[in-house]
C-alpha cells in the first residue's frame, strides 16, 4: 500500500487538531462545572420522609432488643427488595425481588443467632442461599431471559446492599456500641433533610457538607439524650454515617425510575442499610 494514501493534508491535520482541542475544552469545562442529570436536581420528599421514619424505627429497635432490630432490618430489606428491581429497570422484577428479599430476611437472622464472636460468621450462608435463588430463577425463566446480564447485576447489587445491613445487629451486643448505632440512625435521619435543597442551584454543590453537618448535629443531639457516647465519637459517627447515606441516595437519584413511590422507598431503605458496615468498623475502633 502506498504510504502517501494514509498521509493527511495540512487542512485535515488542522481539523483533527481542532477536534481534539475542542474535546479537551469540553472536558475541562465539564470538570469545572459538572452537569448533573435533570433527575438529580429534583427533591424527593417521599425518600426523605421514608428515611426519617425508618431511621426512627430502627433506632428504637436498637434500644429494645437484638431480635427486634433484626426484624426491623429484615423489614427494611424487604422494602428495598420490593422497589429495587423497579428502581434499576430489571427485566425480571419478581425473581430479583425474591432473591434480594430472601437475603434481606436471612442475613439479619444469621447475625443475631451466634451467641459469641464472630457474630457475622453465618451471614455468608444467607448470601449463598440468595445467590442460589437468583440463579435458579434465571434458569427456570420462560421469557427468553432478555437482558440477562443486567438482571443478574441488579439482583447482585441488591443482595450486597441488604447484606451490608447485617453489621448493625452486633452493635447491640454492648451498650457503648448500641449508643453508636442509635446516634448513627439519628444522623442518617437528619442528613436526609439536605436532599430537600436539590432544586436550589446555588446550594446543590454543598449538599454533601450540609448532609454531614446535619448528621453531626443529629448525632450530638442523640448522644446528649442517651448520655453517650462522648462528643468526639458521636460527631465522627454522625459525619460518616450521614456521608455514606447521602451518597447512596444521590447515586440512586439519577436513575430514570427514581420518581416512583416504590423506587424512593427503596432508595431510603438502601441509605439506612448500607452504612451499617461503616458504623460497625468504627465501633471496633472506638469500642473494641
Residue 214 has pLDDT above 60, yes or no: yes
pTM of the full structure = 0.83
pLDDT band of residue 34 (cuts 50, 70, 90) is low
Which residues fall within 8 angstroms of residue 175, CB to CB, at 6 or more apart? 228
How confident is the model over 48-69, as a mean pLDDT?
A: 94
Read off the pLDDT of residues 66-104 as tens digits, 9 standing for 90 and up: 999 999 999 999 999 999 999 998 878 888 999 999 999
Secondary structure of the chain in the HEC alphabet? CCHHHHCCCHHHHHHHHHHHHHHHHHHHHHHHCCCCCHHHHCCCHHHHHHHHHHHHHHHHHHHHCHHHHHHHHHHHHHHHHHHHHHHHCCCCHHHHHHHHHHHHHHHHHHHHCCCCCCCCCCHHHHHHHHHHHHHHHHHHCCCCCCCHHHHHHHHHHHHHHHHCCHHHHHHHHCHHHHHHHHHHHHHHHHHHHHHHHCCCCCCHHHHHHHHHHHHHHHHHHHHHHHCCCCHHHHHHHHHHHHHHHHHHHHHHCCCHHHHCHHHHHHHHHHHHHCCHHHHHHHHHHHCC
Between the CA of residue 88 and those of 45, 70, 91, 152, 281, what are the distances in Å? 20, 26, 9, 11, 29
Higher pLDDT, 18 or 259: 259
CA distance 168 to 158: 17
Read off the pLDDT of residues 239-288 as tens digits, 9 standing for 90 and up: 999 999 999 999 999 888 898 999 999 999 999 999 999 999 998 888 75
How does pLDDT run across 123-134, given as a tens digit for each residue?
999 999 999 999
- Domains of the chain: which residue ranges? 46-286
Q: What is the mean pLDDT of the chain?
A: 87
Amino acid at each position: 500500500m502506498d504510504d502517501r494514501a494514509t498521509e493527511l493534508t495540512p487542512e485535515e491535520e488542522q481539523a483533527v487538531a481542532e477536534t481534539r482541542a475542542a474535546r479537551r475544552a469540553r472536558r475541562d469545562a465539564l470538570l469545572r462545572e459538572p452537569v448533573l442529570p435533570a433527575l438529580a436536581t429534583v427533591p424527593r420528599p417521599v425518600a426523605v420522609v421514608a428515611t426519617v421514619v425508618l431511621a426512627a424505627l430502627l433506632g428504637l429497635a436498637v434500644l429494645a432488643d437484638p431480635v427486634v432490630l433484626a426484624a426491623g432490618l429484615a423489614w427494611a430489606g424487604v422494602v428495598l427488595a420490593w422497589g429495587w428491581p423497579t428502581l434499576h429497570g430489571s427485566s425480571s422484577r419478581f425473581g430479583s425481588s425474591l432473591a434480594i428479599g430472601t437475603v434481606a430476611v436471612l442475613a439479619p437472622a444469621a447475625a443475631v443467632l451466634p451467641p459469641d464472636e464472630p457474630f457475622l460468621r453465618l451471614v455468608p450462608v444467607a448470601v449463598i442461599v440468595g445467590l442460589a435463588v437468583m440463579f435458579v430463577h434465571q434458569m427456570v425463566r420462560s421469557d427468553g431471559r432478555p437482558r440477562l446480564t443486567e438482571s443478574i447485576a441488579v439482583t447482585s447489587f441488591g443482595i450486597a446492599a441488604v447484606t451490608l445491613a447485617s453489621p448493625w445487629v452486633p452493635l447491640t451486643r454492648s451498650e457503648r456500641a448500641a449508643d453508636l448505632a442509635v446516634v448513627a440512625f439519628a444522623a442518617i435521619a437528619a442528613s436526609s433533610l439536605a436532599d430537600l435543597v436539590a432544586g436550589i442551584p446555588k446550594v446543590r454543590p454543598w449538599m454533601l457538607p450540609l448532609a454531614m453537618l446535619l448528621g453531626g448535629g443529629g448525632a450530638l443531639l442523640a448522644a446528649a439524650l442517651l448520655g453517650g457516647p462522648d462528643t468526639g465519637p458521636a460527631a465522627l459517627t454522625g459525619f460518616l454515617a450521614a456521608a455514606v447515606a447521602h451518597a447512596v441516595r444521590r447515586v440512586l437519584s439519577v436513575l430514570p425510575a427514581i420518581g416512583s413511590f416504590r423506587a424512593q422507598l427503596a432508595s431510603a431503605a438502601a441509605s439506612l442499610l448500607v452504612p451499617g458496615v461503616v458504623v460497625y468498623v468504627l465501633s471496633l475502633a472506638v469500642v473494641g
